[in-house]
Amino acid sequence: MRINEVEIEDTFAEAFPMVATRVIITAADRFWARRAAESMTGFATSVIGCACEAGIEREIEPEQTPDQRPGIAVLLFSFSAQELEKQLVRRVGQCVLTCPSTSVFSGLDSDKQISMGKKLRYFGDGYQISKKVGERRYWRIPVMDGEFVCEQSTGCTKAIGGGNFLVLSESLSGALRACESAMQAMRFVRSVIMPFPGGVARSGSKVGSKYKGLRASTNDAYCPSLRSITSSKLPPGVHAALEVVIDGLNQDDVKRAMRTGIQAACEAGTRYGLRCVTGGNYGGKLGPYHFHLREILQ
């Protein structure tokens, strides 16, 4: 299969189960909402080293947020609901509570809930006020610019982490341009985040290592510098590979993001020296979700 002369390899990308939540951060204006969201989603690229993966999903217009102020939707993923709650409380407490004019609300309706304001309220030192509006409970914590409003809890759902595709190009600059095009298009896909810097990872990993205790190590099959000494999967003429990693709330979201991203990357085709798009296939060792590239693109 080829798109714009770019080979789509007949393989699948492996992904694994996670749990996720969505929160909506609002602020006096978009600038401050984005500052809080960027801070909250910092150091959240890989669940292995950061305990969670997080990213900005989209901007929300004031008419669609609970308090009619500009908002940002943030998605957080982790391996368990307990760890997700721990990371959420820590990140909202350190990055949103501290950011001027912000409030934070649940962005996901679900029977399964994890605490947010329920734990953060103690910062109010007894001056916090609970307010129930409809069926939702909010905590109002007095702060130096007025009050920080935080919803009691947020929904938690099963999700998918590690959806991916690899872009193989003749040069690093070509691979970068292709990934940038992909990211530009994927920004508009709902319910997914690309947690790595700019949405792209250059340190793709394989499962396991020669060193005891290391769960992942460099994916030598795609390292151009090791082509001559490993069983390389890089086709001749390819000198750079980059990986776009996708976390989504369900399989359809991940598929939609992969399709959008791959098509955008291939649009420029060979102009960027793009040779091939493949998937992170670990022989079934990584996870139960297999996204077959050619099926997705049909």
Partner 1 sequence: MFPRLQIKSSASALHLDASPLTLQHFSSLPKAKWSNIQISGNGKSFALGDLFNISSGPSQTLVFSGDLSKTHYIGCHWQSEELIVEGDAGSFLGEFMSGGRILVKGNAGHHVSCCQKAGTIIVQGNVGDYAAGASMRSRIGMRGGLLIVEGHCGKWLAMRMRRGTVVIHGQTAAAVATDMLAGTLILCGAVEKPISCGMRRGTIVFSSALQRPKEIPEDGQLWLFNEVLDRQGKQISRVGGFTSPDAVELSMLPLLFSEIGAHLPDTWRPYSSRVYRSLGDRSVSGYGELIWLFPKSQ
By the criterion CB under 8 A, which residues form the site for partner 1? 66-69, 101, 103, 127, 129-134, 138, 140, 145-149
Q: How far is the CB of 61 from partner 1 (least distance, A)?
A: 15
Half-sphere exposure (Cβ direction) of 133: Cα atoms closer than 13 Å: 11
Backbone angles phi, psi at 4, to 5 degrees: 50, 45
Q: In 3-state terms, what secondary structure has residue 24?
A: strand
Q: Pick between residue 7 and residue 147 the one whose CB is nearest to partner 1.
A: 147
Nearer to partner 1, 128 or 219 (CB): 128
- CB 136 → partner 1: shortest distance, Å? 9
The answer to whether 101 touches 149, Cβ cutoff 8 Å, is no
CB of 28 to partner 1, least distance (A): 9
What's the closest the beta carbon of residue 16 comes to partner 1, in angstroms?
Answer: 37
Is 140 or 233 the residue whose CB approaches partner 1 more closely? 140
**72 vs 238 by CB, closer to partner 1:** 72
User: What is the nearest approach in angstroms of partner 1 to the Cβ of residue 109?
Assistant: 16
Q: Are 137 and 91 in contact (CB under 8 A)?
A: no
CB 242, min distance to partner 1, A: 41
Buried b (16+ CB within 10 A) or exposed e, 132-154: eeeeeebbbbeeeeeebbbbbbb
Q: Which one, 147 or 180, has the nearer CB to partner 1?
A: 147
Q: Which is nearer to partner 1, 61 or 67 (CB)?
A: 67
Nearest Cα to 20, choosing from 93, 74, 90? Answer: 74
Does residue 41 contact residue 54 with C-beta atoms inside 8 Å? yes
Cβ pair 36, 92 in contact under 8 A? no
Nearest 5°: CA angle at 246, between 244 and 249?
Answer: 170
Q: Sign of dihedral through CA atoms 237, 239, 240, 241? A: positive
**Cα diameter, the chain:** 67
| Minimum distance, C-beta of residue 87 to partner 1, in the bound complex (Å) | 24
Which H or E element spans position 83? helix 81-91
Residue 103 CB, shortest distance to partner 1, in Å, is 5
Exposure pattern of 81-92 as b/e (b: 16+ CB <10 Å)?
beebbbbbbebb
- Dig out the tokens for 135 from the structure: 């069926």
Q: Which one, 42 or 146, has the nearer CB to partner 1? A: 146
Return the number of the residue (134 or 283) whose C-beta is nearest partner 1. Answer: 134
